[in-house]
Amino acid sequence: MNFDKDLKDLTDIPALSGHEDKMIAYVLKKLRRTCDKIHVDKLGNITATYPGTEKDGTSIAFFAHMDEVGLMVKKIEDNGFLRLERVGGVPEKVLPSAFLDVHTLDETKSYRGVVGNTSHHLTPADKKFAVTTISELYVDLGCKSKEEVLEKGIDIGSVVTYLPNYTSLGNYVASKSLDDRMGIYALLRMAEELNQREHKADVHLIFTVQEEFNIRSSTPTFQRLQPDAAICVDISPACDTPELKGRYEMELDKGVAIMYMNFHGRGTLGGLLPNPRLNAFLERTAKEEGLKCQKEVVIGVITDDAFTQLAGTEGIPMAHLSIPLRYTHSLAEVASRQDIEDCIALMMAAACRFSRQVELARGIK
């Protein structure tokens, strides 16, 4: 794979939660080059299985989500402006004046639109420093009537996504939807290497759907597979920018992070307290491979593994690798090339080392 080309291709693909078909098709095309055991469930979750050498039924899963945050048309004004609802954690503060792609209801075509922003000269003083809420925002397509919008194939329920904008920033990359296309890229890199490197356990690569919307849509896959261990690869907010400096010890260029706790922080959505022995296995593997890694404890983040750990009749030992990311869920997220490479290296090393001899049982000192 080519780092910039393939990561650009991945971030360019529109794949709002529940509308991942273009991404599913792209991933399947890549996987079919290296794998002949592929399963797509009724929700769209993809599993590619690479048999291990020991043939004892031991398995480990690695997973990342294909979908991205975005919006959906909820109303078309008589004068042609579009009203929106958020799908996933879209920060309203980034939207005014943003260019967006508005997709036809059948998702065969898209039109460029801009989010309206009240003219500066006429903005009241009390509004100049306020965040415009989603209920106040609208998209300007350059249409003069509701009928003109409908003629384009845009209607209530049409998907709205951030504009593709992949950019190289020296040793860093910037783009929409690096969350979690970096994880998808990592899995596809693993797919290229697994047939060329010996691994004792069966390895499942799982590409999940609707993480940004309900976090639970990958659960049927884990109910079906019930692997002996699973490792999620996603992102975590980098705290090396001026406004977040020191809030958590998460920085670009310091390697992938092994997560020790995450938690949504509100209500009962929960989070993940990973299997301690699986974390120790990852720490040991990173040290022996000479890979940089960080430790992560963060409040305000939740992903698939909060619920996949509960699958089956006995639960699944779960761990989580995070690639540090600046400006999460915004129109331009920023990550380190080297952190992505370190993450892939640790995942591959873990896949090759995992076996029945890796003890994950609880209550053993």
Residue 99 belongs to domain with CATH number: 2.40.30.40
State the Cα–Cα distance between residues 176 and 10, nearest whole angstrom: 10
Q: What Cα–Cα distance (Å) separates residue 164 from each residue in 141, 167, 221, 293?
A: 18, 10, 30, 30
State the Cα–Cα distance between residues 334 and 356, nearest whole angstrom: 38
- pLDDT for the residue 122: 85
Last residue of a domain, one of 131, 162, 193: 162
Q: Which residue range(s) make up the domain with 97?
A: 70-162
- pLDDT for the residue 75: 97
**258 is a domain residue:** yes
- pLDDT for the residue 365: 67
Residue 7 CB burial class (10 angstroms; 0-12, 13-18, ≥19): buried
Q: What angle do CA 233, 235, 239 make, to 5 degrees?
A: 145
Q: How far is CA 313 from the centre of its chain?
A: 27
Q: Are residues 38 and 74 in the same domain?
A: no
Express each pLDDT in 17-33 by its tens digit. Answer: 999 999 999 999 999 99
107 is annotated as an active-site residue: no
**170 is a domain residue:** no
Query: Coil, helix or strand for 320?
Result: strand
State the Cα–Cα distance between residues 210 and 208, nearest whole angstrom: 7
Q: Are residues 80 and 222 in the same domain?
A: no
Q: Are residues 232 and 284 in the same domain?
A: yes
Q: Are residues 158 and 255 in the same domain?
A: no
Express each pLDDT in 278-314 by its tens digit. Answer: 999 999 999 999 999 999 998 888 888 888 999 988 9
- pLDDT for the residue 38: 97
Which of 20, 211, 251, 333 is catalytic? The answer is 211
**363 is a domain residue:** no
The structural domain count of the chain equals 2
Binding-site positions for Zn(2+) read 65, 179, 212, 234, 329
Q: Are residues 149 and 206 in the same domain?
A: no
State the Cα–Cα distance between residues 188 and 37, nearest whole angstrom: 15
State the Cα–Cα distance between residues 184 and 7, nearest whole angstrom: 9
Question: Which pTM was predicted?
Answer: 0.95
Name residues of the chain where pLDDT drops below 50: none
State the Cα–Cα distance between residues 199 and 347, nearest whole angstrom: 12
DSSP state of 57: S
Tokens for 355, please give them.
Answer: 């076996």
